[in-house]
Amino acid sequence: MAIDIDKIRADFPILSTLVNGKPLVYLDNAATTQKPRPVIEAITDYYSSYNSNIHRGTHHLSNLATEAHEAARKTIQRYINAEHAHEVIFTRGTTEAINLVAFSFGEAFVNPGDDVIVTTMDHHSNFVPWQMMCERRGANFRVVPFDENGDLRLDVYQNLLGEKTRIVAFNHVSNSLGTINPAKKVIQMAHDAGAAVLVDAAQSVQHIEHDVRALDADFYAFSGHKIYGPTGIGVLYGKEAWLDAIPPYQGGGEMIDQVSIERTTYNKPPFKFEAGTPNIVGPIGLAAAIDYLNGLDFADIMASEDSVLKYGRSRLLEIDGLTIYGNAQHRTSILAFNIDGVHHYDLGTLLDTHGVAVRTGHHCTQPIMTALQIDGTVRASLALYNTRDDIDALVAAIRKVLKMLGR
Amino acid sequence: MAIDIDKIRADFPILSTLVNGKPLVYLDNAATTQKPRPVIEAITDYYSSYNSNIHRGTHHLSNLATEAHEAARKTIQRYINAEHAHEVIFTRGTTEAINLVAFSFGEAFVNPGDDVIVTTMDHHSNFVPWQMMCERRGANFRVVPFDENGDLRLDVYQNLLGEKTRIVAFNHVSNSLGTINPAKKVIQMAHDAGAAVLVDAAQSVQHIEHDVRALDADFYAFSGHKIYGPTGIGVLYGKEAWLDAIPPYQGGGEMIDQVSIERTTYNKPPFKFEAGTPNIVGPIGLAAAIDYLNGLDFADIMASEDSVLKYGRSRLLEIDGLTIYGNAQHRTSILAFNIDGVHHYDLGTLLDTHGVAVRTGHHCTQPIMTALQIDGTVRASLALYNTRDDIDALVAAIRKVLKMLGR
Amino acid sequence: MASIQEIQGQIVDDFSFLPAWDERYAYLIELGQKNTLLPEEYRTEDNIVRGCQSLVWLHKECRQGEVFLQADSDSLIVKGLAALLLQVFSGQPAEAVIKADLTFFKEIGLDKHLSSQRANGLLAMVEEIKAFAAQCVGGAA
Amino acid sequence: MASIQEIQGQIVDDFSFLPAWDERYAYLIELGQKNTLLPEEYRTEDNIVRGCQSLVWLHKECRQGEVFLQADSDSLIVKGLAALLLQVFSGQPAEAVIKADLTFFKEIGLDKHLSSQRANGLLAMVEEIKAFAAQCVGGAA
Ligand SMILES: Cc1ncc(COP(=O)(O)O)c(C=O)c1O
Ligand SMILES: Cc1ncc(COP(=O)(O)O)c(C=O)c1O
């Protein structure tokens, strides 16, 4: 492990903040990650020296901004190994990317009686849009369950797949269980059944492999803010053929070719799907984040995160009455748990008084909670800057809280 | 006029940039405005000291971020004089706001044979979404023309209005002509016919009156980046009753109440319409921009912009063969023109070599260009920091370009 | 009975003796455990106030224009918050409840910690109590 | 005939004598006015290459595997750009056109000014020429 975490931590200004007088221990990375200095500087630099509207401008600032914006598209293309830059569409985030596909794919390819498949372990953002689309299009909403360890029931999935299946949507990594789904296999099975696949990569693109061509994903969505980039920017990758085949989602400037009262024709991807002035600075900040990652060795990042995860698991299990949720074969970055007789909300709130930031509740995955028959969990989630010290701080704080609660 | 423009200009870092070795003369404000230092600082401060996901968090950073985000909603509520903060919905921009209404209003209230009315002078973003919706819902797309001065043909509008009219959408200010439409009257006429109204305020909210209750607008949309705020953030105001009546647009986290495989119920506005992690920093930056405006006197801003506009008009008309487009009764901020025998693209590109940033082309209003029987215009557009000096620089640069072109 | 304003002042005083956050929470939890109790019969669907993360049952009665409240929650902290609301509102004239400005949360610093969140349902409880009071005015409800 | 590479080198040389941007544009416009001309019969819908803001007509012919081009535009600057493309590509073997790497735009600094924009249709012209060359290879088209 060549990765120098102290050096990395120094790149993230917020990590040296005090919270309630205690050093911040930030373990809420699945909700959003912190930003390294180059990202913040890229944003400031944009607004201070070349802010302008893009694409149609003919002046200097507009050229600079357009170039930076389109260079960012290429940086992202390379990071996910897409074949073409125009297969990278900018959205507000994963949620919007999925809504776009649910709408546009639905309009073109989903008809009454067709099937759409998601999983019980999907985030509401990869669940509700498909439910809404199925309702609008008269299609059947099918859901693949997971087993007691948090592994997808591939046998049930196989049975659900059929000639009526139009599209399968699933998360590569579960934000509540940490399960790494066997994405290649899930995709292959869908393709064998003639269905398209959307991969929700919100929790995977920053932690594990993220090669859309190796996965053979038809659509692939993620959020900038979860991969050390700015808020309000996300990516939808789509295979060129699919992007050509589905209709646009929103109408407006940028996405048109010709507009008249009688007839409007649309631009080519990616612009066809980017109506209106985009979040111009978003991709620029996101590319700065990805450049930052590219400056490290991704295998080292994975190894470091994995070692902290394993350490966290074993330290947490030392605590009496603590249950960990998510024991899938392959896991990453998530430590979700409850302690007997302690409400997750109380534990999370009280951990905060010790400077430890975790998330509590259903984590936008109520179907998981329903399946596990719980209301919620405490979730500590890791990023590349977390260390064993963070885990030690978490465990020490939990012990203090339990003591205060008289346990 | 108490407004001190030199002082204001010093607040906008980019205005002291050099372009091609010449001081920047930024006259592309209708495309996007520059940002004052407090906006840039609000963004840096967010990322450096309290970046966190919001609303469901239980930790300190999350509380700070949630508070700042929701305080921003209130700042915007006050600026547009909305009755409730929950009537302010955050979107990516005007375009997304309009698409949201076109979709959600359309699903609930527009049926085959119904009428939807826009105007020939609307931006593609307030044109194409309605066209798309009409196609999907089988409704008639009706378009109100403008007269040779660039004033709306209210007589034609009156004739188009009828019991089949469900919604009227129009821009308060035209981005290509500068026309200030008689918004109160347009809205009153629609209401008398029983129709709802969406006001596209992208070019008005920063220049003229912006009181949604005085206007009695049902929906009102604008973009942060055009009012000195960040990119990627916009606002949709909707009257509470309408927001309750229309279905959600996108599905995902935040916008739900309960999610299950069988049935999903939705949250209340604004959250019902804010699926997924929002652009958290966007509203914070936008509120900083509005606070900046609130620190000035809006009447002074209007007076200053108006005086520069009038000066610009008279100076431009000194140039031989120059035609100004847009001679409506009430106008703001836009100077659109062509010079005989000079292509707008050439003029714009060559002005840039003199440091003057203008926009050229159809400005996302092809129906206007079709009506005027031109391909495009050169457009100089003003913001609060523009001065008569900027106009002089523009006119001097035009003369140099004409000379170079041998005219 | 003390007025809403007086009670809020009393709460602020009580908390002012506890400078550290963990002490404040300990006190809040203690308050909750002492002062919330809801007979099984009132733990109905109808009485549930939903925060995102915790369940609150809030039972309201209107007697001669006065509002009476009982509450419970599965979260100790939310129990504590509910107890504070009961202390402030229960037994007060509906008119006073409607008009009340809840300043004490801010004064004891709990607003920073709690009130902007949707997680704990605090705002939802306050809204529900005020809406109930509006029906109760003059003994109507 | 000089190779694409040689011609690009020549263009770069020509521009290098003009340090100021307005001079470069003046030269570009002059080039355009001298070297573009399109008979009325070729100004067809089919020959239009759309930039956002200017119209370009591009007439292509394939003779024994070589690409021949004529062009015009309503914009003087776009005429100049088209003239440069004609200089580089017209009369070249289709194979060479397909493989050509357009480096000169960058070297004369025009990329910063022009190539990232959709406004002028430059990229669209290059794409169209290359696509045509692909059909023309070996004299097929
Ligand atoms: C009148 C008008 N409406 C709508 C828009 C679209 O705004 P945005 O691109 O920020 O979504 C614009 C911006 O160009 C505009 O000028
Ligand atoms: C697995 C998963 N999918 C989708 C999302 C939604 O991402 P966003 O809220 O950034 O749109 C999240 C984020 O919480 C997630 O964890």
Q: How far is D52 from chain A (nearest CA, A)?
A: 7
pLDDT of residue A12: 98
- CATH assignment of the domain containing D47: 3.90.1010.10
Mean pLDDT along residues B165-175: 98
Q: What is the pLDDT of residue D22?
A: 83
pLDDT band of A58, cuts 50, 70, 90: confident
Taking any CB pair shorter than 8 Å as contact, residues of chain D touching chain A are 50, 52-53, 112-114, 116-119
CATH 3.30.450.20 fits B40-294, yes or no: no
Contact between chain B and chain A (3 or more Cβ pairs less than 8 Å apart): yes
pLDDT > 80? residue A334: yes
| B120-135 mean pLDDT | 98
pLDDT value of position A204: 98
Residue B142 in this model has a pLDDT that exceeds 90 = yes
Residue C57 near residue C73 (C-beta atoms within 8 A): yes
Amino acid letter, A75:
T
- pLDDT (0 to 100) of residue A56: 77
Write the pLDDT tens digit of every residue in A111-155: 999 999 999 999 999 999 999 999 999 999 999 999 999 999 999
Which whole number is the average pLDDT over A25-41?
98
Instruction: Write down the CATH number for the domain with range B5-30+297-404.
Output: 3.90.1150.10
Of B180 and C103, the one with more pLDDT? B180
Based on the residue annotation, tell me whether A134 is a catalytic residue of this protein.
no
Range of the domain at C67: 4-138
What ipTM does this complex have?
0.94
pLDDT class for B168, splitting at 50, 70, 90? Answer: very high
User: Which residues of chain D carry a pLDDT beneath 70?
Assistant: 51-52, 112-120, 138-141
Range with the lowest mean pLDDT among A217-231, A247-261, A280-294, B209-223? A247-261
pLDDT band of C107, cuts 50, 70, 90? confident
Average model confidence (pLDDT) for chain B?
Answer: 96
Ligand 2: list residues with CB < 6 Å: A 30, 93-95, 123, 125-126, 171, 175, 200, 202-203, 223, 364; B 253, 276-277
Q: Do chains C and D touch (3 or more CB pairs under 8 A)?
A: no
Answer yes or no: do C25 and A362 touch at CB < 8 A: no
Which pLDDT does position C54 carry in this prediction?
A: 83
How far apart are alpha carbons B55 and B67 in whole angstroms? 9
- Taking the whole predicted model, whether its pTM rises above 0.90 is answered as yes
In angstroms, what is the span from residue B95 Cα to ligand 1's centroid?
A: 6
Name the band, by pLDDT with cuts 50, 70 and 90, for residue B16: very high
Q: How far apart are CA A171 and CA A221, in angstroms?
A: 9
Q: Is B362's Cβ below 8 Å from some Cβ in D?
A: yes
| Whole-angstrom distance, CA of residue C75 vs CA of residue C81 | 10
Q: How far apart are CA A392 and CA A397, in angstroms?
A: 8
Q: What is the pLDDT of residues B333-352, one digit of tens each?
A: 999 999 999 999 999 999 99
In A165-218, DSSP assigns E strands to: 165-171, 196-200
Kindly list the residues from chain C whose CB atom is less than 8 angstroms away from the CB atom of residue B58: 53, 117, 119
Taking the mean position of all CA atoms in its chain, how far away is CA B382? 14
* Residue B253 confidence (pLDDT) above 90: no
pLDDT digits (tens, 9 = 90+) for D62-74: 999 999 999 999 9
Q: How confident is the model at residue A251, as a pLDDT?
A: 96
Which two three-digit tokens encode residue B151?
Answer: 């004033």
Q: Is the pLDDT at B56 greater than 80, yes or no?
A: no
Residue of A nearest to C33 (CA): A405
Q: Which residues of A touch C52 (CB under 8 A)?
A: 361-362
Do C95 and C84 contact (CB within 8 A), yes or no?
no
Which residues of C fall within a CB distance of 8 Å from B64? Answer: 112
Q: Which residues contact A406 (CB under 8 A, 6 or more apart)?
A: none
- A202 has a pLDDT exceeding 60: yes
Q: Averaged over C25-53, what is the pLDDT?
A: 86
Kindly tell me the burial class for residue A136, based on how many C-beta atoms sit within 10 Å of its own C-beta (0-12, 13-18, 19 or more): middle
Would you say A328 and A378 are in contact if contact means Cβ atoms under 8 Å apart?
no
Question: Domain locations in chain B?
Answer: 5-30+297-404, 40-294
E strand residue ranges, A245-328: 256-259, 264-266, 322-325
